[in-house]
Amino acid sequence: MIVRKTQSELEKMRRSGLLVHDILHALAAQVAEGLATWDLEVAAVKMMEDAGARPAFKNYFVPAAGERYRFVLCTSVNDEIVHGMPSTRRILRKGDIVSIDTGVSLNGYFGDSALTVAVGEISDEAKRLMRITEESLELAIGKVREGNRLFDICGTVEEHVVSNGFSIVREYVGHGIGTQLHEEPQVPNYVDRRNENPRLREGMVLAIEPMVNAGRPEAKVLKDKWTAVAKDGSYSAHFEHCVAVTSNGPWVLTRP
């Protein structure tokens, strides 16, 4: 069931969303050659504790992994698509790209967002991958309007990514969000006609998160049971925002 939020609930989600924005952008500013992804985890934990927020990801149980996630961040480097785990051994190098994904709960309402950051100078292809992925998210946000349908969002991401020579990861999708981190509906980054195509109504909130590979779309999960990587080893980029449907158009809750 899709849960539509009241204005009061959206305001609470906005506070969570802005905290996630502030955390992500503080972490992005720290990204540099020689930094361990664990350093980002430590910084994020402190920011959440200082804000009195509960981490959305830590202790989240995923049946496919058979266990709870142990960190507040996902830090996915290069060919890692999503769910990369922070580590003291994963040292960022010049030319890497790193996706930082996190969420929080404040006063019972969730915010969730992601961005991909370059480590020093990166290749032209990696720059274009990041640009096209972020552009596809912005174009999708523009479709979050009353009366449109879910496939308007999904198809917009797919068309922009594919027309620019990149591929959509199909195993991982966006989602509704509110008092739960993951709510209905699922939000694929492609049109899947096996899924329902609900009309967008005021109060719906969607976490839209294109995950785009430079090469082929296929993914696999590593032996750690969490980290999803591009099967062909190509770079992958990930951007995400939580967006509310309002009578005035899309309201991005995870940026000022």
Beta strand extents in the chain (DSSP E only): 54-55, 61-62, 67-68, 73-77, 80-82, 97-106, 109-118, 167-168, 174-176, 183-187, 205-208, 211-213, 219-221, 228-230, 236-238, 241-246, 249-252
Written as one letter, the residue type at 200 is: L
Report how far residue 118's alpha carbon sits from residue 205's, in angstroms, rounded to the nearest whole number.
29
Minimal CA–CA distance to 255: which of 16, 17, 55? 17
Domains along the sequence of the chain with CATH: 7-252 (3.90.230.10)
pLDDT at 195: 86
In tens, the pLDDT along 30-82 reads: 999 999 999 999 999 999 999 999 999 999 999 999 999 999 999 999 999 99
Phi, psi of 74 (to 5 degrees): -110, 125
- Based on its alpha-carbon atoms, the radius of gyration of the chain, rounded to whole angstroms, reads 17
The first and second tokens of residue 167, run together, are: 């591929």
Phi, psi of 25 (to 5 degrees): -75, -30
- Say if residues 122 and 95 touch (Cβ distance below 8 Å): yes
pTM comes to 0.97
In tens, the pLDDT along 121-167 reads: 999 999 999 999 999 999 999 999 999 999 999 999 999 999 999 99
Phi, psi of 23 (to 5 degrees): -65, -50
The first and second tokens of residue 159, run together, are: 């068309």
In tens, the pLDDT along 24-38 reads: 999 999 999 999 999
Mean per-residue pLDDT over the chain, rounded: 98
pLDDT tier, 212 (very low <50, low <70, confident <90, very high otherwise):
very high
In tens, the pLDDT along 160-211 reads: 999 999 999 999 999 999 999 999 999 999 999 888 999 999 999 999 999 9
Report how far residue 138's alpha carbon sits from residue 156's, in angstroms, rounded to the nearest whole number.
10
